[in-house]
Every structure is written in C-alpha cells, then in structure tokens.
Amino acid sequence: MASEPLTNTLNPTTSSTITIRIIKNFEYRTIKNLVLQHINLETTTFKELKELIIEKINSTPGLKPFRNVNYDTLKLYTKAHGAKTQSLIINMEDDENMIFSNDDDNLASCGIENETEISFFNREAYETYKTHPDVIKWD
C-alpha cells in the first residue's frame, strides 16, 4: 500500500496570518502586536480589517490600555522576509504607497501577503510625530 505524500493544503491567500502593530503613542513608543490568523486576503477589505482590529482591541483584556485612541489608518510596516525599516515604531517611508487609504480594497490587491506586518494608528498623531521623529518621551 503506497502512501500519498503529505502536502500543505492551506492556500496562503485564503488562510493567512498577519501581525497588526497597534500604535497608541509615537513619542512614548507605546505599541502592542496583535496577531490575526486565518485571514482571507482575497475577500477581506481594509474596512473589515479595521473593524476586526477594533473589535479585538475592545474585547481583549491585554489591549485595554489601547482603547482610548481613535485608530483610523493602516500602513505597511514590513512584509515577510523583506527589509525592515530603521524606525522601531513605524515605517516612515513612502506614505503615498504604503498607507492604505481605500477601505474598499481587498488586502491581496494591495500586496498584503502571509506574515505581513501592518501598523494601525491615528493619522493626526502620526503627522505630528513626523515633524519631530527624534523626540522620545520616557516619563
């Protein structure tokens, strides 16, 4: 009796894992990673992703300190096996192409792949931070 070779039947676009870097505060470097599994990149829109993240923030006890921010923006931080940015807080390069501004786009159409890291933050706070990215507050 010959055995069939084991194959991975999971399609990386229909069952992907992505990491969301929830940024509460840029100056204090307050970040928490949220790992989302079994995300269908072909059917999930950015609007649905935002809603899922906000639901997780509001229902996960460890994310309670992150509930008082108006999160409204998603931006690519890094793709799996790709070059990482020099900034430990957020990728400050190429806002035009790396900020996902159309909530109706699906994740795959914008280049999101399995094991991609995406930052989720308040856009107004980010714009303020960009004017003085060297400022770090620890107190």
Flag whether 21 is in a domain: yes
Q: Which domain holds residue 66?
A: 16-131
Report how many domains make up the chain.
1
Structure tokens at 126: 């980010």
Flag whether 69 is in a domain: yes
Per-residue pLDDT of the chain (139 residues; tens, 9 = 90+): 454 444 444 566 678 999 999 999 999 999 999 999 999 999 999 999 999 999 999 999 999 999 999 999 999 999 887 766 667 889 888 899 999 999 999 999 999 999 999 999 999 999 999 998 887 776 5
Greatest pairwise CA separation for the chain in angstroms: 68
Flag whether 48 is in a domain: yes
Flag whether 1 is in a domain: no
Flag whether 63 is in a domain: yes
Q: Scan for tokens 């409204």, then name that residue.
A: 72
Flag whether 9 is in a domain: no
CATH of the domain at 65: 3.10.20.90
